[in-house]
Structure 1
Amino acid sequence: MHANFDQQAPKKATNLTINSDLLNKAKNLKINLSATLEQALIVEVKKTQSELWLKENKDAIDELNKLSEENGLFSDSFRSF
């Protein structure tokens, strides 16, 4: 998986507030909180960045779709299906 962040960046301590029962259950199950949070953040950051990119480029995407609907695609003449 390609990372959108510097995987070599140093770790940074932080404080979090979390449901105490959930935290106790995770500790009892020996779940690595830091690794779990990092994985969840990777997914959330990638999703949010994708949504932002689509929002920022909506006008251009709509315009390209309009052009292709009106004029077809360059590759249309090369298709055999």
Structure 2
Amino acid sequence: MAHAVRRATNVTIDQALLDEAKGLGLNISRAAEAGIETAVRAEKERLWQVENAEAIQSSNNYVEKYALPLAKYRVF
């Protein structure tokens, strides 16, 4: 997220966790940003899987029934 525009916001964080993070010298804003980025990425992946579940199942059914289309050409 290089050169990202940042905006101040208020968040509520467990006091013990916040104290521990500060005690370790962590940048709270950057750590929160990294956690949110991870959560956003995971949710996008989950939504993609839900949206494409039918196609994924269809592909899996095909492979189960007919095997991989080019399996005979695999060298590993």
Provide TM-score, normalisation by structure 2: 0.79
**For structure 1, which runs of at least 5 residues remain unmatched after alignment?**
1-5
Q: Which residue of 1 aligns with 2:34?
A: 39
**For structure 2, which runs of at least 5 residues remain unmatched after alignment?**
none
Q: Which residue of 1 aligns with 2:9?
A: 14
Q: Which one of the candidate residues 64, 69, 75 is aligned to 2:70?
A: 75
What is the one-letter code of the residue matched to 2:45? S
Distance 1:70 1:31, change over 3 A: same
Runs of 4+ in 1 over 3 A off after TM superposition: none
Once residues 80 and 15 of structure 1 are traced to their aligned partners in structure 2, the CA distance between those partners, rounded to angstroms, is 55
Q: How many residues end up aligned between the 2 structures?
A: 76
Q: Which one of the candidate residues 61, 64, 69 is aligned to 1:66?
A: 61
Identity of aligned residues (%): 34
Shift of 1:18: 1.4
Once residues 54 and 77 of structure 1 are traced to their aligned partners in structure 2, the CA distance between those partners, rounded to angstroms, is 29
Distance 1:18 1:71, change over 3 A: same
Give the aligned CA root-mean-square deviation in angstroms: 2.0
Provide TM-score, normalisation by structure 1: 0.75
